[in-house]
Structure 1
Amino acid sequence: MAILVIKHSALGDMILALPLLRAIRQHHAGERIVLLTTAPYVDLLQRSGLADEIWTDPRPKFWQPLKLLALLSRIRNGRFSRIYDLQGSQRTKSYYRLLGKPAEAWVGNAPGCRYHIPDPTEPMHITELRRRQLALVGIPDPGLPDLDFLTGDIARYTLPARFALLVPGGAPHRPAKRWPAERFAALARQLLAQGITPVLIGRAAEQTEIAAIRALCPEAISLCDKTSIADLAALGRAAALCVGNDTGPMHIIAAARCPSLVLYSAESDPRKISPRGDWVRLLQRPSLQDVGLEDVIAALPPVRQA
C-alpha cells in the first residue's frame, strides 16, 4: 500500500509540518510514503527521512493543462490508499475534484471527503488544525518539531563561545513586518555589553538592513547569505538567544530549541502560525515602529547558559 502526503509551502509551515509527517510515517509503518512538495523543500524533506519518495509539484498554471494532466495522472497511477492534504489550499482542493473526488482516501478540507476537517471560522494555530485533522484517522498528537536530522558545519564561521542570533529581515514586499534596523543595532550593543556577540542572519535581499546594523555595531558578525537551513538549525542549537522578525528562519532556529523572541506587527497573526515551545516568546504590536529596545528586553526568554 502507498500513502500520499501533500505539503507545498511555506518554510515556517514546513517546519511545523515535520511532526505531522513523522506521525503519519509511524501510523503507516511498513507502507510506502510519498511526499508531494515544491522544489525549495525537497532537500529538507530528503534529509528528514520521513518519506520513501519525494515528488515535486510544479504547481501548473491554468494555461499549462498538460503539466496539470501529467501530475494528476501520476497521482492516479500511484494507487494511494490514503491522501493527506496538509496544505489545505484552493489548489489542493481542486486536485481533489480533478482526481474524481476520492472521498474514502482523502484526509483534508476538501468538501465531500470522508475525513473532512472544516476550515476554521476563528483564528486557530495551524498545528492545532492539523492535529485535529490527523485525529480523524486515529493519529495521536504529533508533538513539536525535531530538527536533530539537520546538521550543519558551523565551525567554519569561527564564532565566539557565546553568541546570539539576530534575524532582522523578512519578506521584501512586507516591510511592516520588520523591526527597525537601528533598534536591532541597539539590541546588538546591549548583548555585547553582556558578553554575548551578536550574529546577523539574513539573505542577500537583506544586506541593507544588516549593513545598517553593522554600521552602528561593527562588532556584530554578519553571516548574510552564508547559511543553509541545516546551518540555521546548528546555529540555533549553539546560540544563547535569538531575536527576529516573523520570518521563516525563526521557525528553524526556534525548532532547534534556541531561546527565541519573535516580533510581530499587525501584518501577521501569531495565533495562526508561530514557532512553538516553552523556550519561545512572542511580542506583537500593531506597528513594530512602536516597539522600543526596552520592550524587547522585557520580553526576552531566559538566555541559554554556557
Structure 2
Amino acid sequence: MPTTHSMPVRRSRTSPVAAKRILVYVQNKPFLGALLVKVPFLVELAGANPGARIELLSPVPDAALLKSLGLVHACTSFGNNHLRTLAHALAHFKRYDLAICMRPASQITTLYAHLSGKRTMGFLVPGGLPFRDTVAYDKSVYIAISYLKLLFRRESDDALRARVVPAFSRVFGDTASPDAGTNAVCLFPGAGQPFKRWPAPGFAGLVAGLGPAYRYHVIVGPDERSLAETIRENASVPCELHVGEDLRRIFALARAARLCIGNDCGPGHIGLMAGVPNLKLFPPGQDPAQWFFPRAGNMLIEGGRGGIGSIPVDRVLSAARAMLEGR
C-alpha cells in the first residue's frame, strides 16, 4: 500500500522575501494533463509565499480547473486576444510583487510579465525580455520538474522529483480508496487524441492475460464510456468502469493500486503522480522525456514506426507481471 507523505513548507531559494500578490502566466494548452503537471509548482509557490494572493492568467478557460482545486485565488482568460491581455497588464502595471511566466516560448508574454510585476521570474525565451530570475527550459526532464526549477534552481532533479508526489497528495488527498479492493490494478486506456491510444483489444488482452487474481478499475473521461465498455466486454475477466470520475476519486483509486497502466492522458497523469508503480504506453516521437514521470518503480514502453498500436500485448503483459511481482 502507498505510504503517507507529509508536505513541508519550504521557501523558494529564489524568493527570500515572500511576495503578497503574485500573477502567473500559464500556457495555451487546454489538456487536463498539461494543467495537472502545474500542480506541484503551484503548491510549492504557495508554500514559499505564505498568505500570498496568487492569480492565473491563461489563454484557455480550462485553466480554471486550478482555481477549483484551491491552488489559486483567481483565474482570468482572454483567449488569444493579445490586446486584452496587454490592457490587463497595463491596468495592473507593477501591481504584483511577482509576475511569473510559465510559457517557455512566448516572447510577448515576457513583456506582459515585465509590465505586471515588480519582480519577474520565468524561462529563458529566445528573443524575449530576460527575467530577474531566469531559468533555462530543459526539454529532457519531466515537465513538472522543469516548472519546479523556477523556484528551486539549485536543487537536483532527484530532489525536485521527491516533491511531486507529496504535492499531489496535499491537493488530492493522501488516503487510498478503501473500496478499490486488494490487488487493485488501474487502467487508463483513454487519450485526447486517437494516435495516443493503445488499442482497446490490447487492454482487454492484458486483463485476460493477468487473470482474475487482480481487481481491475478502467478509468476514462466522460466521453470515453464506449471505450471502457469495449474493454470490459472483451476481457473475459470482471472489470469495474469509472467514467468521468472526480479527480480526487481517481487519485484515491490510484493510491490503492498495486499498478497503474495506461496511455499519456489526463487521468493517467493522476495515476502517474499517485506514488505507486506505473507502466506508461507512448506513441513514438511524443516527447516522453517531458511527459513521463521517471520515478523509481515506473516504466515506459514506446511504440515503433507503426505507432502505439505496434506495441505487442505480450510485451506489456510481461512488463506488468514483472512489476506486480516485484521483479
Map of 2:282 onto structure 1: 264
Does residue 239 of structure 2 align to residue 234 of structure 1?
Answer: no
CA contact (8 A) 2:40 2:144 kept: no
- 1:295 Cα deviation after fit: 1.0
Once residues 68 and 154 of structure 1 are traced to their aligned partners in structure 2, the CA distance between those partners, rounded to angstroms, is 42
Does residue 56 of structure 2 align to residue 31 of structure 1?
Answer: no
Aligned partner of residue 37 in structure 2, secondary structure: helix
What TM-score does the superposition give when structure 2 sets the normalisation length? 0.75
CA contact (8 A) 2:210 2:317 kept: no
Map of 2:108 onto structure 1: 94
Query: Which whole-Å deviations, capped at 9, do the CAs of 1:260-284 have from their partners, x for residues lacking one?
Result: 1110111411112213422321111
CA shift in 2, pair 1:26/1:203, >3 Å: closer
CA contact (8 A) 1:96 1:102 kept: no
- 1:181 Cα deviation after fit: 1.2
- 1:164 Cα deviation after fit: 1.1
- 1:57 Cα deviation after fit: 1.8
Query: Which whole-Å deviations, capped at 9, do the CAs of 1:3-29 have from their partners, x for residues lacking one?
Result: 222334543233332222222223223
- 1:43 Cα deviation after fit: 4.2
- 1:255 Cα deviation after fit: 1.0
Residue of 198, 201, 206 corresponding to 1:179 = 198
Aligned partner of residue 289 in structure 1, secondary structure: helix
Map of 1:47 onto structure 2: 69
- 1:44 Cα deviation after fit: 4.3
Partner AA of 2:230 in structure 1: A
CA contact (8 A) 2:98 2:117 kept: no
Map of 1:292 onto structure 2: 312
Does residue 101 of structure 2 align to residue 79 of structure 1?
Answer: no
CA contact (8 A) 1:246 1:263 kept: yes
Query: Which whole-Å deviations, capped at 9, do the CAs of 1:84-116 have from their partners, x for residues lacking one?
Result: 1123343xx323325665686221134222333
Residue of 135, 150, 156 corresponding to 1:133 = 150
Percent identity of paired positions between Structure 1 and Structure 2: 22
CA contact (8 A) 1:72 1:95 kept: no
Map of 1:115 onto structure 2: 133
- 1:294 Cα deviation after fit: 2.1
- 1:200 Cα deviation after fit: 1.2
Residue of 254, 258, 273 corresponding to 2:272 = 254
Aligned partner of residue 54 in structure 2, secondary structure: strand
Aligned length: 290
Partner AA of 2:314 in structure 1: E
- 1:189 Cα deviation after fit: 1.3
- 1:80 Cα deviation after fit: 0.8
CA shift in 2, pair 1:35/1:99, >3 Å: closer
CA shift in 2, pair 1:68/1:268, >3 Å: same
Aligned partner of residue 186 in structure 2, secondary structure: strand
Map of 1:17 onto structure 2: 38
Once residues 129 and 183 of structure 1 are traced to their aligned partners in structure 2, the CA distance between those partners, rounded to angstroms, is 33
Does residue 218 of structure 2 align to residue 200 of structure 1?
Answer: yes
Map of 1:2 onto structure 2: 21
Moved more, 2-11 or 276-285: 2-11
Aligned partner of residue 275 in structure 1, secondary structure: coil
- 1:256 Cα deviation after fit: 1.5
CA contact (8 A) 1:7 1:87 kept: yes
Does residue 184 of structure 2 align to residue 170 of structure 1?
Answer: no
Query: Which whole-Å deviations, capped at 9, do the CAs of 1:133-180 have from their partners, x for residues lacking one?
Result: 3345x789542133223249967xx65443211111112xx3222212
CA contact (8 A) 2:278 2:297 kept: yes
Query: Is there any run of 5+ residues in structure 1 with no aligned partner, and where?
Result: none
Partner AA of 1:293 in structure 2: V
Matched ranges for 1:53-72 at <5 A? 53-61=73-81, 65=83, 67-68=84-85, 71-72=88-89
CA contact (8 A) 2:221 2:267 kept: no
